[in-house]
Amino acid sequence: MADVTLSKVNVPPAQTWNYLKINGLSLEVPAVTGGEGNLPDRLTRIETGIGDAATAWIDSAVPEPRLISVPARTDLDEPILIEVESDRGELASTGVIVHEGAHATIVVVAADTERAAAGMTDERAAQSGIEAVVAEPGKAVPETDKPISASLLRISADRNAKVDVYEYVAVPTSCRHIEGAAIEADDDAFIEVHQYLLGGGTVAAGLAVTQRGARSSFKLDTHYLVHENELLDMNYVARVRGRNARTRIDASGVLSDGAEKTLRDTIDLICGCKGAKGDENETVVVTGDNIVNRSLPVILCDEEDVQGNHGATIGSMSVDQLQYLRDRGLTTDEAEELFGRAVVDDAALNAPVKAARNAVLSRAAELIGDEAAADLIEIFENDQEVGE
Amino acid sequence: MSKTEIADVDRSLYDFIKPEEGFERIEDGLTPEVVKAISEKKDEPEWMLKMRLEALQKYHQMSMADNWGPDINGLDMDNIATYVASGSKQADSWDDVPTDIKDTFERLGIPEAERESLAGVGAQYDSEIVYHNMREEVAEQGVVYSTIEDALHEGYEDMIHEYFGKLIPMTDHKFAALHYAVWSGGSFVYVPEGVDMPYPLQSYFRLNAAGAGQFEHTLIIVEPGANLHFIEGCSAPKYYVANLHAGAVELYVKDHARLRYSTIENWSKNMYNLNTKRARVAEDGVMEWVSGSFGSHISYLYPTTILAGDRSSCEFTGITFAGNTQNLDTGCKVIMNGKDTKASVSTKSISKSGGTSIFRSSVVVGRKADNATASVSCQSLMLDDISRSDTIPAMEVNNPTARVGHEATIGRISDDTIMYLMSRGCSEEEARTLVVNGFANPISKELPLEYAVEMNNLIKLEMEGAIG
Amino acid sequence: MSEQLLTIKGLTAGTEDKVILSDINLEVGAGETHVLMGPNGTGKSTLGRIIMGDPAYKVKEGTITFDGEDITEASADKRSLAGIFLSYQAPVEIPGVPLYSFLRTIADKRPDLKMVGRKFRKRVGEICQQLGIPESFLTRDLNVGFSGGEKKKIEMLQLLLLKPKLAILDETDSGLDVDALSVVSKAIAAYKEECNGSLLMITHNTRILERLQVDHTHVMVNGHLAAHGDASLISQIDAEGFERFEKAAEGDAR
């Protein structure tokens, strides 16, 4: 199949100097056909974070998007689970309408699902005959040749609805993934998104929320670990329209050797959103060499009666932190590893369903080493109860 | 709380127009003939003319980025005169300056400031410097302060050839190319090794002609261990046609040298201010920018510091006040290439009466900049809900040992604050002015006294609509 | 009654959507000391703010007369210049405005306090000394980075500088350490002595009142003035609390 170039993936609302190469991401993807985009208008009109081209590409590829409607004042017993198999380049499009006062939990898991299903590390997978997709030694797979998977999740939350979203992306270095989300929140809707972005050769995570409702609340908590020679590209956009809306975007993560990461986060305080408050916060811990860390934290504002704040800390561990950990008997390397391990542990422990946890475990050895991964796997070995 | 209606600013202090009779005005538009005419008038070396013509070609080839920045479609280059001059000789005594022009600078307080607190003054009126003078004791130390045109004829041609156009290449952006094609006037400053300038030098730029452009070039070289404070002021009367300012400022700060560059920009609100400023700082050098942007209709202004040498550092302190009809896209860029370099950026912006203020910055930490530390802080104040305030800071870190911190806040003056001040007897308008002045105070503290006073007056003007 | 400094008649007020105070009647004569007590959240501070003219509150019914003028509609700065002073429970911070410049600005608004710089500087210095406020406070930004106690001291400095006819002290004594409390007491004593001004103390703490000659005591419960009395009411409340008044108010409501 002929390739097409998605030139404006993860484009932020406000652009800046083009030579900085922070205005968006370009992805080579296979040409696709067959999708008709038959989700209702109220879902497709919502802005997605991944940009128009990537959105159209996914919509044109998925023949039958999944549509779930959560009736008013119901509380779903089971989480809505969306699984995407990265090594097969699977594409998923899902729409969820959460009606007035209802509560839903949505979980997206993008991973090498075969391995994830077994909850396995490379080593164990090899033992059980599952072939791990690994490049020949010394010969990297060109980024454009890697399979690309995608999930596009659209959520419309009515008044007083409560939605918890978990996104687990743990695809191998040999795969690429687009993790897209479009959310709309009506009056008093309460949305919480937890993202664990644990890799992939190239991962583009784009999320946009339109807070059109008064007193609506949106909270995004992203944790990431960018592994050797991987690229993580994030774009978060909050359009704040409702009065007294609350918006919080927290992103924290770790960059190991050769990692490349871009984070764009934009809070757009639109005229009329009186009393709104928006906060962005970023913490990046650099534990490896040859890293590239790009950040574009933007606040747009044309309303007077608002508060917008942004804070960022980027860098290696401080001398104080390092000294503290040394005092507890850790070497510098061990102290640095601790940060990466914390992200993986956190992802596994907070996994709402087993599939999510297994996705984390399937990448654990690659991310934090065999020993630490084995430790973590052991914790869950006999535990089948998670999320139930 | 209901807002006090604040009338548009009475800028009569800056808003007087002098006749242009007997002035030389090179025809509008941009052709090689126009460029040649300017060059010929200045009796330039061949290389300069070549550079101008090359730049003109680049200007016609290049385009502005269309995905960011304020709209400059209102600027029609076919109707901008690139060269306007009074025809009078440059003077070193105010008595020899033509009366109208002298009167202009008197009203702006320049001769008075020169007597009181400056080591030297240059005054540009439209395209040419009309007055240049420096204290004798400073000249005796080997300090050079003149126009680039004069320096080219007075034995500094080699030095200018070495530095001119090297920091800001003509390909930097479309208006940098334009600048190099038609530049005229500006300053050349050379501070020899180890010379510590006790008083600032000041250049004041006044654009009087309607529908004209000002394209001055400032080149400053501060040799090792030397220290200079340079002040730049600019203003223009208001016209209903567009005026353009596309100057270039190239600053070289050598080892252990220190340069402070202060600007209070108060162009009239028909001005397109597309100015480029850049400093290169060598080992242990220190660059300090203080920048106040109050005027102009559209601004693109991002003074850039390249921290090339190890342990070099820079500080940028800026304030932007955008009122009615203004779209001011300002900020700064820092490129950190040396080890143990330090950068500190602190800006404030105020938006009022439908004005748009955009803070745009970039901090790039290079691969080799071990232990570089940078902090960026920007605070924005919204004074009503018809204005706009955006904060667009970019950061790129390529070195694992670097530490970069950033914080930004956008907010308003709280009702409680106004109430507190009113409960002590201040009117609402006084209360607002007091808070805005307080907000700007960290910047005015960095300015020489007479400029701090001017800045406070400008804020008062903006807030009250009349000189108090 | 024209000899009254402050007269509040039938005042019903609150925020845009909520009534907080109902049918308040209060008279404060020149030179008198009044105490307004009551449990937390009953509207005491709101009354102080309404007297000061805070636009966050709307007067729905009734009038406020000060020094013979109806000020019900007057803005806060007009009331301030007429001689009302409110000491805030939590004074706001104003970055970039040094305390000294602020004092100079507010003093200059008052014709009888306008004086040359040197004289003004001396006057402020005297008050600082009188209250034991370090002069280094004067160059710092208004209330920025000051502790709660220090902010109250700065409020007292303004009280003595401005010499208002009526001072409303809103919980000025609450949460203070011994040192700050003594500064506040000193300032109140000096205010009474030097200006013979009227005082309306809003408090739920009786300690600060021990050294004061209290003329009238008012008890506020649920936005109503539930009881009035002389100084002896304070010791009753000290012993019994507000329960009795709250019960009475509930009874009224039924």
At A136-191, the pLDDT tens digits run 544 556 777 889 999 999 999 999 999 999 999 999 999 999 999 999 999 999 99
pLDDT value, residue A20: 95
Given a cut of 90, whether residue C60 has pLDDT beyond it is: yes
Residue B417, chain C, CB below 8 Å: the answer is: yes
Residue ranges of chain B whose CB lies within 8 Å of a chain A CB: 65, 67-68, 360, 362, 364, 367, 380, 382-398, 400-412
Q: Note whether B touches A: 3 CB pairs or more under 8 A.
A: yes
Given a cut of 80, whether residue C227 has pLDDT beyond it is: yes
- Give the length of chain A: 388
pLDDT value, residue B463: 76
Given a cut of 50, whether residue C240 has pLDDT beyond it is: yes
Residue B416, chain C, CB below 8 Å: the answer is: yes
pLDDT value, residue A361: 92
Distance of residue A17 Cα from the nearest chain B Cα, in angstroms = 8
- Locate the DSSP E strands across chain A: 3-9, 25-30, 66-70, 80-85, 91-98, 103-111, 148-157, 162-170, 176-185, 190-197, 202-211, 217-226, 231-240, 246-255, 260-269, 277-286, 292-301, 307-315
Distance of residue B12 Cα from the nearest chain A Cα, in angstroms = 30
User: Pick from B68, B402, B412: which is nearest to A15 by CB?
Assistant: B68
CATH number assigned to the domain comprising residue C210: 3.40.50.300
| C-alpha span between A211 and A215 (Å, rounded) | 9
User: Pick from C52, C77, C94: which is nearest to B435 by CB?
Assistant: C94
Name the neighbours of A, counting chains with at least 3 Cβ pairs within 8 A: B
pLDDT value, residue A384: 52
Query: What DSSP assignment string belongs to A164-221?
Result: EEEEEEE--TT-EEEEEEEEEE-TT-EEEEEEEE---SEEEEEEEEEE-STT-EEEEE
Three-state DSSP state, B332: strand
In the A/B pair of chains, how many CB contacts fall below 8 A? 144
Chain A residues whose beta carbon lies within 8 Å of the beta carbon of residue B336? none
Distance of residue B263 Cα from the nearest chain C Cα, in angstroms = 21
Give the residue from B410, B415, B435 with the most A CB atoms within 10 Å of its CB, the best one to mutate. B410
The reply to whether C156 falls in a domain is: no
Name the neighbours of B, counting chains with at least 3 Cβ pairs within 8 A: A, C
The reply to whether B310 falls in a domain is: no
pLDDT value, residue B464: 62
Domain count, chain C: 1
User: Pick from B384, B388, B403: which is nearest to A301 by CB?
Assistant: B388
pTM for the full predicted model: 0.89
Strand-pair category, A307-315 with A277-286: parallel
| C-alpha span between B95 and C48 (Å, rounded) | 64
Three-state DSSP state, C156: helix
For B366, which residue in chain A has the nearest alpha carbon?
Answer: A292
Least confident of B146-155, B189-198, B309-318, B438-447: B438-447
Cα angle A83, A89, A95; round to 5: 45
Domain boundaries, chain A: 65-381
Contact predicate B308/B274, CB 8 Å = no
| C-alpha span between A66 and A255 (Å, rounded) | 35
User: Pick from A291, A295, A304: which is nearest to B382 by CB?
Assistant: A304
The reply to whether B373 falls in a domain is: no
The neighbouring-strand residues paired with B397 are A293, B365
| C-alpha span between C163 and B3 (Å, rounded) | 30
Q: Which amino acid is at B136?
A: E
The residue among C87, C86, C29, C64 whose CA lies nearest residue C216 is C29
| C-alpha span between A163 and A103 (Å, rounded) | 6
Distance of residue B390 Cα from the nearest chain C Cα, in angstroms = 22
Given a cut of 70, whether residue A80 has pLDDT beyond it is: yes
| C-alpha span between C181 and C179 (Å, rounded) | 5
Contact predicate A335/A190, CB 8 Å = no
Q: Which amino acid is at A281?
A: N
DSSP A317: P
- Give residue B239's pLDDT band: very low, low, confident or very high (50, 70, 90): confident
Contact predicate A165/A106, CB 8 Å = yes
Chain B residues whose beta carbon lies within 8 Å of the beta carbon of residue A16? 68, 360, 362, 392, 394
Q: B304 CB contacts (<8 Å, ≥6 apart)?
A: B277, B278, B279, B332, B333, B334, B335
Give the residue from C15, C66, C77, C157 with the most B CB atoms within 10 Å of its CB, the best one to mutate. C77
Same domain, B66 and B193: yes
The reply to whether C121 falls in a domain is: no
Rg over alpha carbons for chain A, rounded to the nearest Å, is: 20
The residue among A226, C53, C30 whose CA lies nearest residue B415 is C53
Query: pLDDT higher for A327 or C159?
Result: C159
| C-alpha span between B235 and B461 (Å, rounded) | 15
Cα angle B326, B330, B335; round to 5: 170
Residue B140, chain C, CB below 8 Å: the answer is: no
Expressed as residue numbers, the domain containing C29 is 4-89+162-253
* Share of residues in chain B with pLDDT > 90 (%): 64
Q: CB B387 to CB A295 under 8 A?
A: no
Contact predicate A261/A224, CB 8 Å = yes
Top-ranked range on mean pLDDT: pick from A334-348, B60-74, B345-359 = B345-359
Distance of CA B424 to the CA centre of its chain: 39
| C-alpha span between B195 and A27 (Å, rounded) | 55
Domain count, chain B: 2
Tell me: the pLDDT tens digits for C119-135?
999 999 999 999 999 99
| C-alpha span between A33 and B252 (Å, rounded) | 58
Residue the block writes with tokens 């052709």: B31
Q: CB B410 to CB A286 under 8 A?
A: no
Strand-pair category, C58-66 with C69-70: antiparallel
Q: Note whether C touches B: 3 CB pairs or more under 8 A.
A: yes
| C-alpha span between B308 and B103 (Å, rounded) | 43
Query: pLDDT higher for A128 or B242?
Result: B242
Distance of residue B354 Cα from the nearest chain C Cα, in angstroms = 25
For A286, which residue in chain B has the nearest alpha carbon?
Answer: B400
Contact predicate A222/A368, CB 8 Å = no
Given a cut of 80, whether residue A218 has pLDDT beyond it is: yes
pLDDT value, residue A137: 47
The residue among C2, C54, C55, C49 whose CA lies nearest residue C24 is C49
Q: CB C85 to CB B423 under 8 A?
A: yes
The neighbouring-strand residues paired with C232 are none
Average pLDDT, chain B: 89
Cα angle B407, B412, B414; round to 5: 120
H or E segment to which residue C49 belongs? helix C44-52
Given a cut of 60, whether residue B289 has pLDDT beyond it is: yes
Q: CB B67 to CB A300 under 8 A?
A: no
Q: What distance separates the 2 farthest-apart alpha carbons in chain A?
A: 62
Given a cut of 50, whether residue A135 has pLDDT beyond it is: no
For B422, which residue in chain C has the nearest alpha carbon?
Answer: C77
Give the residue from B64, B67, B358 with the most A CB atoms within 10 Å of its CB, the best one to mutate. B67
Q: CB C80 to CB B438 under 8 A?
A: no
H or E segment to which residue C191 belongs? helix C178-195
User: Pick from B421, B423, B439: which is nearest to C86 by CB?
Assistant: B423
Q: B222 CB contacts (<8 Å, ≥6 apart)?
A: B191, B228, B251, B252, B253, B254, B257, B258, B259
Expressed as residue numbers, the domain containing B231 is 24-301
* Share of residues in chain B with pLDDT > 70 (%): 96
The residue among A263, A109, A259 whose CA lies nearest residue A171 is A109
Residue B215, chain C, CB below 8 Å: the answer is: no
The reply to whether B397 falls in a domain is: no
Tell me: the pLDDT tens digits for A284-320?
999 989 999 999 999 999 999 999 999 999 998 878 8
The reply to whether B105 falls in a domain is: yes
pLDDT value, residue C197: 93
The reply to whether B323 falls in a domain is: no
How far, CA to CA in Å, does B73 sit from each of A288, B64, B69, B77, B359?
47, 11, 12, 10, 21
- Give residue B110's pLDDT band: very low, low, confident or very high (50, 70, 90): confident
The reply to whether B83 falls in a domain is: yes
The reply to whether B341 falls in a domain is: no
Sign (positive or negative) of CA dihedral C36, C39, C45, C51: negative
Average pLDDT, chain C: 90
Q: Of the candidates B301, B329, B356, which is a domain's last residue? A: B301
The reply to whether B387 falls in a domain is: no
pLDDT value, residue A296: 97
Q: Of the candidates B254, B280, B301, which is a domain's last residue? A: B301
- Give the length of chain C: 254
Chain A residues whose beta carbon lies within 8 Å of the beta carbon of residue B388? 300-302
Given a cut of 90, whether residue A75 has pLDDT beyond it is: yes
